[in-house]
Amino acid sequence: MRQDKERLGSSVLAAGVILEAISATENIHLGEETRSRLLAYANVLAAVGNATIADTLDELDAEKLGLKTLTTGNLAVTYGNVVPDSDEDKTKLTVKGNLIQTLGGSLALTEVFNPKGSKSEILLSYGVTLITAGAAIISIGGSKELRNIENRLVEIGAWVKALGATLVMLSFFLPDKDM
């Protein structure tokens, strides 16, 4: 049951973060409204995925707290892409949401980082590291956008997060996952 829930949560997380990366990719021609809605839907999926994985953890430790914080960051980005009217407000909330995700990923890393563990533990360690780094890169890129500095950091950060989420998902499907 727990393994199924971890697999479901990590798959939903990966789908959401990959959709986020697609929405951030400038070479994929989407209208601004479509791009904003896709980013909102993507972050809802990521929030559900993070919350589902957190629900598999029995005790409140740094990993569970980190996953809940990641969920909060996803919901901040969602809110920012659904409610505000101005592009500046959307960008500010996206930056803040990704900063919250960076904090959440850092908290989770204190529990899961094990580069000398099993294959699944190594994938999980690297995946959470990439998700955390990607969220930080997105925040930096968004901050630059607020100062009218052209950059592609949001797109780069989104794809770094997508790679990380994919590694997290794969870590729950490897047979050597300790239960």
- In the prediction, which pLDDT does 84 show? 79
Among 11, 91, 10, 20, smallest CA distance to 54 is for 10
Query: How many angstroms from the chain centroid is the CA of residue 70?
Result: 7
**136-151 per-position pLDDT tens digit:** 999 999 999 999 999 9
Closest Cα to residue 145, out of 75, 93, 106, 105? 93
Among the listed residues 17, 8, 5, the one whose alpha carbon sits nearest the alpha carbon of residue 73: 17
Q: How many structural domains is the chain composed of?
A: 1
Residue 157 located in a structural domain: yes
User: Of 107, 125, 112, 134, nearest to 17 (Cα)?
Assistant: 134
Is the pLDDT higher at 176 or at 102?
102
- pLDDT band for position 178 (cuts 50, 70, 90): very low
Residue 51 lies in a domain: yes
- Please give the residue range of the domain that contains residue 24: 2-173
Inside any domain, residue 179 = no
Q: Are 56 and 68 in contact (CB under 8 A)?
A: no
How many Cα atoms occupy the beta-carbon half-sphere of 176 within 13 Å? Answer: 8
90 domain-assigned:
yes
Q: Examine residue 178 and state whether it is found in any structural domain, yes or no.
A: no
- pTM reported for the whole predicted model: 0.93
State how far Cα 178 lies from the chain centre: 24
Can you read off the two tokens belonging to residue 96?
């803040």
In a domain? residue 71: yes
| Angstrom distances, CA of residue 146 to CA of 54, 78, 149 | 33, 18, 7
Angle at 30 between CA 26 and CA 32, to 5 degrees: 90
